[in-house]
Structures are given as structure tokens and as C-alpha cells.
Chain A
Amino acid sequence: RKEVEQDPGPFNVPEGATVAFNCTYSNSASQSFFWYRQDCRKEPKLLMSVYSSGNEDGRFTAQLNRASQYISLLIRDSKLSDSATYLCVVTPPAVMNTGFQKLVFGTGTRLLVSP
């Protein structure tokens, strides 16, 4: 079983639509959770952290369910510029208290927003 699983898509939606992505992770001791965005041939960039209480940043809402080991991202009022691959990212427990964290990426979900 992969550490982080996502539906690869693509999700094809019209402008203005609401779209939701889901992600599951296998390590129940995972510490931190993020959504990254990656544009074609570019580096991944942090979109938002995901907190246990859920959090919102403008049109984007992220939710975490630790009991079900499930993370979601909701995008409202989709824009053409939202077209990208959305990567679910999990950090397993820090190794030997070394103080750094490795990022474990899901395969990514591709979003295509059309006019």
C-alpha cells in the first residue's frame, strides 16, 4: 500500500465550479499534512497546511480526519489559473529526533479548469 494515495484525475471542471480532492495516508503516526500545487515543469509550491480543526484560505478549504487517515481539499469558484496538479503531502515522524522532516508526496491530482 502506498504511503499517500490520491486519485490522479484529471478532473475537468468549468470555471466557477466547486471541486474536491481526497487523499488517504497509511502511517497513523504522521505528524503534519499539506497540500502543494505543482504547475507543469515547475517546482512544487505550498498551497496550505492542513490542521486538525480544518482551515480555510480564500477559496480553498482543507480538512483532516486523523481517525480515518483522510485529507481533503475543496476549491470553490474555480479559476482558469487553478489548473495544476495538487499534491497531498504527509510528514512521517521525525527520524531519530534529528529535527528535520521528510515530505512524502501523493501521486497528485490533476485539475483542468476550462472556460
Chain B
Amino acid sequence: DTEVTQTPKHLVMGMTNKKSLKCEQHMGHRAMYWYKQKAKKPPELMFVYSYEKLSINESVPSRFSPECPNSSLLNLHLHALQPEDSALYLCASSQEGIRQDTNYGYTFGSGTRLTVV
């Protein structure tokens, strides 16, 4: 199993709604990531979990709240979002390691396309 599965694939939510994005991998990867990609822009890192602990928060507004219930699951809880938060949210996972020239099996999910109305 070499996949990262994200649900839902599409989500439309109002600015007062609370919703969650889910990500699952069964590759034994111990690092999991959330990226945000706006239209015609590259992906930008939001959060990194390493061994189920939050290791990096790239100054993301508190209306985005990540959670890592176990080594296979990563959630992103959304509350009081703004229309400018509409984007493709990508989850990724990788093996751990700091050796050069290796991808560490970095794998992206197909993303959740979020529209905030």
C-alpha cells in the first residue's frame, strides 16, 4: 500500500461552519504534513507532525487546527474560515531521515479542494 488517502475530495463550507479534513497512510511513515496550494501557486507547507507530535507550524492562523490521533491518521480541523482560505489542501507523508539525495518516500494525497463561501 503506497497511497495517502484524503477525504473528502471536495468540500464547500460557509464561514461559520466547522469541518474536518482527513488523511490516512499505511506505509509506516512517521512524518506527516499538511500543505496548502492556491490556484496557479506552488504548495506551501502548513504543518509537520513527526512521531505524532507537532514539529512545525508555519505561522498558520488558529482557524486551522491540526490533529494526529495516531501514526496513520492526520486531521485538519477548520473553523471560521475566510473565502481566501479556498484552496487545494494536500496531505503528505514520508519516512524519517536526514540523509541527502533521498526522497524518503515522500508521497502526496490527491488533496481536498476546499471552497469557502
Contacts and interface: CB of A to CB of B under 8 A. Distances in A.
A97 B56 CA distance: 13
Per DSSP, chain A at the interface is loop
Nearest to A88: B42
A106 B42 CA distance: 6
Interface residues of B, number: 30
A98 B42 contact: no
B48 A102 contact: yes
Contacts of B56: 95, 102
Contacts of A49: 101-103
Interface in B3-47: 30-31, 33, 41-45
Nearest to B107: A46
5 contacts: A31-B101, A43-B111, A99-B97, A100-B96, A101-B106
Interface of B: 30-31, 33, 41-45, 48, 50, 55-56, 88, 90, 92, 94, 96-98, 100-104, 106, 108-111, 113
